[in-house]
């Protein structure tokens, strides 16, 4: 990733012959440079933006793969080189290096420190990883959570089941019903030990009654708070949407070797 994909001297310096733009608008025709191939994929930088069931990730990675296969250099471009373009680069690294989301993200962050896909993109990349990086779109058709009272499609969001596999060391049970409800892999935002809450990604068991409401487990236990509009973290001041907070006092933290309820 570089800044300014319309700057001729930069493209020439890095011998770039292809530009992939993942944004809401393509590069203007008068800004394009001769002998450079441009591809545009319409993508919103929003947690609700799908990249799996509509084939966006597949199309982007295919374009990069074609360039690499032809010994060409391609730049992946979005507005800020933080979320959308990073997501595509992380996906490509995952597929080509057969690595985890976290490993691929660290690779990208080694050259772009600010790299930080939004919560929805990270959620989908993790789902994709655990589906064996399979591009079959039918696997991802039902990744939507209905939020009562929210009719704007852009504010509906992805949901997940708890991420549990051999690599998952820390898991969390509902203190009331003792069922496993999320794992450390589902925690989407770093929270200091002194904080009394966990910020998690959208989960399939969520009992959501309004766009902003108390958060309950399917057993009826009140666990925290949900806000579809998002909120600002008091620790790092980063805005996160959707805002799904679990009170630490409502769950029990366990190690992987401890038996979990079905």
Active-site annotation, residues: 78
- What's the maximum distance between 2 C-alpha atoms anywhere in the chain? 64
Long-range contacts of 178-182 (CB under 8 A, 24+ apart): 178/261, 179/217, 179/219, 179/261, 179/262, 180/260, 180/261, 181/205, 181/217, 181/223, 181/251, 182/246
CA gap 33, 35 in Å, rounded: 7
Alpha helix positions (H), the chain: 8-13, 56-69, 84-97, 101-109, 119-130
Work out whether the CA dihedral 252, 253, 258, 262 comes out positive or negative: positive
What are 239's two structure tokens? 């805005």
């Amino acid at each position: 990733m570089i800044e300014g994909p319309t700057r001729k001297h930069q493209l020439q310096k890095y011998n770039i012959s292809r530009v992939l733009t993942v944004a809401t608008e393509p590069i203007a025709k008068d800004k394009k440079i001769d002998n450079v191939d441009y591809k545009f994929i319409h993508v919103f930088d929003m947690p609700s933006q799908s990249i799996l069931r509509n084939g966006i990730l597949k199309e982007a990675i295919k374009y990069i793969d074609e360039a690499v296969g032809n010994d060409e250099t391609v730049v992946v471009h979005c507005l800020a080189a933080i979320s959308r373009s990073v997501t595509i680069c992380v996906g490509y690294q995952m597929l080509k290096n057969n690595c985890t989301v976290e490993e691929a993200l660290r690779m990208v962050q080694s050259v772009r420190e600010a790299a930080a896909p939004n919560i929805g993109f990270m959620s989908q990349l993790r789902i994709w990883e655990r589906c064996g990086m399979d591009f079959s779109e039918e696997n991802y058709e039902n990744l939507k959570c209905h939020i009562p009272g929210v009719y704007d499609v852009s504010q509906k969001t992805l949901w997940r089941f708890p991420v549990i596999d051999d690599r998952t060391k820390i898991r969390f049970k509902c203190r009331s019903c003792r069922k496993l409800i999320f794992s450390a892999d589902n925690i989407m935002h770093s929270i200091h030990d002194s904080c009394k809450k966990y910020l998690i990604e959208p989960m399939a068991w969520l009992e959501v009654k309004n766009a902003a409401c108390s958060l309950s487990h399917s057993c009826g236990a009140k666990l925290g708070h949900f806000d579809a509009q998002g909120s600002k973290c008091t620790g790092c001041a980063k805005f996160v949407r959707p805002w799904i907070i679990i009170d630490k006092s409502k769950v029990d933290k366990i190690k992987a070797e401890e038996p979990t309820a079905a």
